[in-house]
Amino acid sequence: MARKIILATHGNFAEGIRTSLELICGKSVNVEVICAYMKEDFDLSQTIETIIFENQKNELLVITDIFGGSVNNEFFKYVEQPNVHLVSGLNLSLLIELYTQLETTSDLEKLIRQAISTSKETIQYCNALKAKEEEEEF
């Protein structure tokens, strides 16, 4: 079973972050984007239904921008399917870790959990870090 990443976001965020991924990792393979609501006739439900149907033989890792947002909620309808993994909170650190290990991991769920943990650690308030650094110098 092949693996695919679907980046699904409100607006053009998905396309933009794929561009950043490619800047760092080279041309992406098996990464598709959904830039929701960018066209007047966009139908989120139909778009997702088509992707799920066309990828029944693939393992899908769907990463959305906002937990509880319309894009995430629409994909949430499919999480009981054994080939669908849904993660919210898309950021570049998370995406790079998942993308670079996607084809080599034997345990996708474990990789997802580890990447989420690592990604959380990369979110920092740098001003506070600098202040702590300066305190330690004295």
> Which run of H or of E encompasses 64?
strand 58-64
Give the pLDDT band of residue 135 (cuts 50, 70, 90).
Answer: confident
- Number of domains forming the structure of the chain: 1
Q: Residue 85 corresponds to which tokens in the numbers above?
A: 């993994």
Amino acid 138: pLDDT = 66
Tens-digit pLDDT profile for residues 40-86: 999 999 999 999 999 999 999 999 999 999 999 999 999 999 999 99
State the residue range of the domain holding 79.
2-137
Do residues 88 and 33 lie in contact, with contact meaning Cβ atoms separated by under 8 Å?
no
pLDDT exceeds 70 at position 104: yes
Q: What is the pTM of this model?
A: 0.93
What's the pLDDT score for residue 111? 98
Longest dimension (CA), the chain: 61
Q: Could you please report the per-residue DSSP string of 30-43?
A: SEEEEEETSSTT--
Residue 132 pLDDT exceeds 90: no
Q: Which of 56, 61, 72 is nearest to 13 (CA)?
A: 72
136 band by pLDDT with thresholds 50, 70 and 90: confident
Whichever domain contains 132, its CATH number is 3.40.50.510
Angle between helices 92-101 and 108-121 (to 10 degrees): 150
Distance CA 109, CA 85 (A): 8
Encode pLDDT of 78-102 as tens digits.
999 999 999 999 999 999 999 999 9
CA-CA-CA-CA torsion sign (16, 22, 25, 27): positive
